[in-house]
Amino acid sequence: MTPDTGADCSVMPAATSTAPQGLLAWEHTRFNRITADLALPEATVCALHCATRSVTVELPLTHDDGSTAVLRGYRVQHSHTLGPAKGGTRYRPGVNLDDVTALARLMTWKTALHRLPFGGAKGGIDCDPTVLSARERHELTRCYLLAILPVIGSQVDVLAPDVGTDAQIMAWMVRTAAEAGVPDPAIVTGKPVLLGGSRFRAASTGVGVAHVAQRAWEHLGHRLDGARITIEGFGAVGSHAALELADRGARVVGLSDISGAITNTAGLDPRAVQDWVASGRDLASYPDADRFEGSVLTLECDIAIPAALEGTITDEVADGMQAQLVVEGANGPTVPSAVEFSTGSTKPGSAWRPRRSRPGATPR
């Protein structure tokens, strides 16, 4: 375990080999712009920018075939100012310290904006959980939890599921911590109900996205009944958002996941699609729909919901979007240059209206 011993308070490092890339660079851009608009003192900017703790751990894993590998895991606690740090743990190929740092900062902003008594944190392991057996995932989870246990806890840093993790992973964490002398189920959220988890936890984020979509759409002077919805990502967030929006009268006309995108202008049945995927078949092969090549967010619709991964709304995708409203269900799905907010400002939000034109873009 190697804690970060210091942080450079310069908000945007020089263009060197250590310059931030991807999500962290985008977060830097937004952070710089907003703190400059607010004219915050340099000391405040530095305090907001720097993480309280960054931890990198190396995790030995014995595969079922007897081979061994050493995987790398991370945990970043960005802030404890408002309370214990809080954030998910993702198992995904390519997870790195930059991305985890950016996601931890985003958690800080989200909890603060909602006046919740938590700071921001994030963690993850650079692995592909889809190719690991249940035993391998259990062993990896156990190693990771033991490695970071000295710096987490219900009053310090609370873990949660994220991409590639679920209630079972959280249950293994609770058990591992208890076996190590920390019998506190509150060390994680998103655990099974039998271990003290919340009944509504699995659906909560997706239902929240649906609620924001309805409120924002009504704020623009429309009724949700019959509104056309496209959703990128039919996982833990996107599937529940689709189900909830359909129940509220909206028409889901496009869905996508890692297998591809489907569309039906008459409307898809999210429950039928969910049953199809749960049976082990690809979403893209769902029979009562047409295949769509490209980003499902560019389909003709009223509300577009990115609920997959970060950075999926690029300039190119934004130029092709036809939605009147975008509701972000993923962490950082929109690159900074692709956003123009309805007020004409550059302040971040979870719901925004895509620009109708862009310098150099082909007129629609």
Which residues form the catalytic set? 122
Please give the structure tokens belonging to residue 68: 């061994």
Please give the structure tokens belonging to residue 216: 């924002």
Q: What is the DSSP letter of 332?
A: S
Buried b (16+ CB within 10 A) or exposed e, 282-312: ebbebeebeebeebbbbbebbbbbbbbbbbb
**CA separation for the pair 349, 364 (Å, rounded):** 26
Identify residue 120 by its one-letter amino acid code. Answer: G
**CA separation for the pair 74, 208 (Å, rounded):** 28
Cβ proximity of 124 and 92 under 8 Å: yes
Full strand arrangement of the beta sheet holding 2-3: 2-3, 53-62, 68-77, 119-126, 85-92, 157-161
